[in-house]
Structure 1
Amino acid sequence: MIGFLCLLLTVGIYWVAKRMYRSLPKVYLSPLLITPLLVVGVLLATGTDYAAYSSGGKWLSLLLQPATVAFAVPLYTFFHVLKKHISEIVVSVMTGSVVAVLSSALLAKWLHLDSGLIHSLIPRSITTPIAMNVSASIGGIPAVTAVFVIMTGLLGAIMGPSIVKMLRIDGEIARGTLLGTGAHGTGTSKAFELSSLTGTISSISMVLAALFTLAVAPALSRLIFP
């Protein structure tokens, strides 16, 4: 019963936050920021532990699987665009993935974090399920990695549009690649707010970034931390 109430709580808060964001599209009112903050606040105020929340909230996580498959629809719609720009997208995502891994590892090393936290931070820029697997394979803590992934996604979705505007990135291919590579699923959700093509490019970039990171993270981790 508690799990079901938690599920309703999450959906209800997101629905209200989404309506507020449509009326007043300010960064600080983003549903991706407001919803987790309010949910955590309610859980702390009521003394509800994570296990009880997860019994209902897990159904939202399970919906990520069909939601990810649904990306195939816009991919099919804009296949001709993807085919035309595939080389630029692949090179950009590959470069961004390597930079994300290296910058995370070097920053963690500079901050003198312990080994577990360092390896948990390395795969922070890819989608959660794959990031947790990468973390486990290189000696990280999957649960901690999930937190870093969520934080990266939220920051990317909030700051991404401002960076795009500041750097005057007008091309939809470039915008989609930036958001998908840097902020995975959360960035892709934001990219679809900009345009269908931007969201489509972001979704394929998110998948490519996960594959590249899965391939290079273990090797780079051993190189930096022999």
Structure 2
Amino acid sequence: MDSLMSSPIFGVMLSAIAFEIGNILYNKTKVSLFNPLLISQVLIIAILSKFKISFNDYNMGGQIISFFLIPSTVILAVPLYKKIKLLKAYSIPIIGGIAAGSISGIVSIILLSKLFHLDKVLLSSLVPKSVTTPIGMEISKQIGGIPAVTVASIVATGIIGSVIAPYICKMFKITDEIAVGIAIGTSSHAIGTAKALEIGEVEGAMSGLAIGVAGLVTVFAAPLIIRLCQALSIL
């Protein structure tokens, strides 16, 4: 039993089974709060705690899953390719909207961090919260954050975004398919994009586009905005 738990197979199988349970629960209830990723995280934490399994043993399999993050993100370009005519027709408002969303996300984190007196390291770790994990980890390293904290904030942002985004769009009567997709993808990256794909193909395609563009904008904007805030003695 100990040899199985210290094997990478254990982490992969536990993750797959926990996610499948979450997926079944979500498909039966269709309640946004029962996000498969959130349910799987709760189950995995509970199992590791109950049976006193170390995170290092579990993470040997987790690292294998993490390896596939980048190619799985690239696959999101498929629905975008199907809607390439929309991108060409509305390229300026689409790119402008993603850029505005990304920059406002960075600025809001800085302002809230100042409000709650967070230190610079934690602030830097939270800045890339709205981009996909591989990009966010590299940005975090670049600006002096803690990648592990960044990953946690990215997952939390994605889950929260996928849960509340549809309600916010309804609340503010945002019905345009392109606008909905761009908003979800810019604010809650790949996890939000999975929800956008459920809403519609156009929303999913635009959300997939937003992941890549938001990542690029954040790579360049985050260090510049932080340096500007330091120069203005805001940080």
TM-score normalized by structure 2? 0.92
1:109-120 alignment to 2 at 5 Å? 109-120=114-125
Aligned residues: 226
- Match for residue 101 of structure 1 among 102, 106, 111: 106
AA aligned opposite 1:80: K
1:32 partnered with 2:8 = no
Partner of 2:133: 128
Pairwise CA distance, 1:143: 1.4
Partner of 2:210: 205
1:66 partnered with 2:71 = yes
Pairwise CA distance, 1:127: 1.0
Which has the higher mean CA deviation after the structures are superposed, 41-50 or 64-73? Answer: 64-73
The CA RMSD measured in Å over matched residues stands at: 1.3
1:187 partnered with 2:181 = no
| Distance across 2 between alignment mates of 1:28 and 1:90 | 30
1:149 partnered with 2:149 = no
Pairwise CA distance, 1:63: 2.1
Pairwise CA distance, 1:107: 0.6
Deviations 1:21-67 (A, max 9, x none): 11210122221221111111111111122211111122222222222
Deviations 1:49-92 (A, max 9, x none): 22111111222222222222222322221111111111111010
- Match for residue 171 of structure 2 among 147, 158, 166: 166
Q: Gapped runs of 5+ residues in structure 1? A: none
| Distance across 2 between alignment mates of 1:150 and 1:67 | 16
Indicate if the aligned counterparts of 2:11 and 2:58 stay in contact, CA closer than 8 A: yes
- Match for residue 54 of structure 2 among 49, 53, 67: 49
Task: Give SS of 2:198's match.
Answer: helix
Partner of 2:183: 178
Partner of 1:90: 95
AA aligned opposite 2:164: M
Pairwise CA distance, 1:5: 2.0
| Distance across 1 between alignment mates of 2:76 and 2:155 | 20
Task: Give SS of 2:88's match.
Answer: helix
Task: Give SS of 2:130's match.
Answer: coil
Indicate if the aligned counterparts of 2:98 and 2:213 stay in contact, CA closer than 8 A: yes
Structure 1 stretches of 4+ with a deviation exceeding 3 A read none
Pairwise CA distance, 1:168: 1.6
Task: Give SS of 1:225's match.
Answer: helix
1:15 partnered with 2:20 = yes
Which has the higher mean CA deviation after the structures are superposed, 9-18 or 98-107? Answer: 9-18
- Match for residue 9 of structure 2 among 4, 8, 13: 4
Which has the higher mean CA deviation after the structures are superposed, 198-207 or 143-152? Answer: 143-152
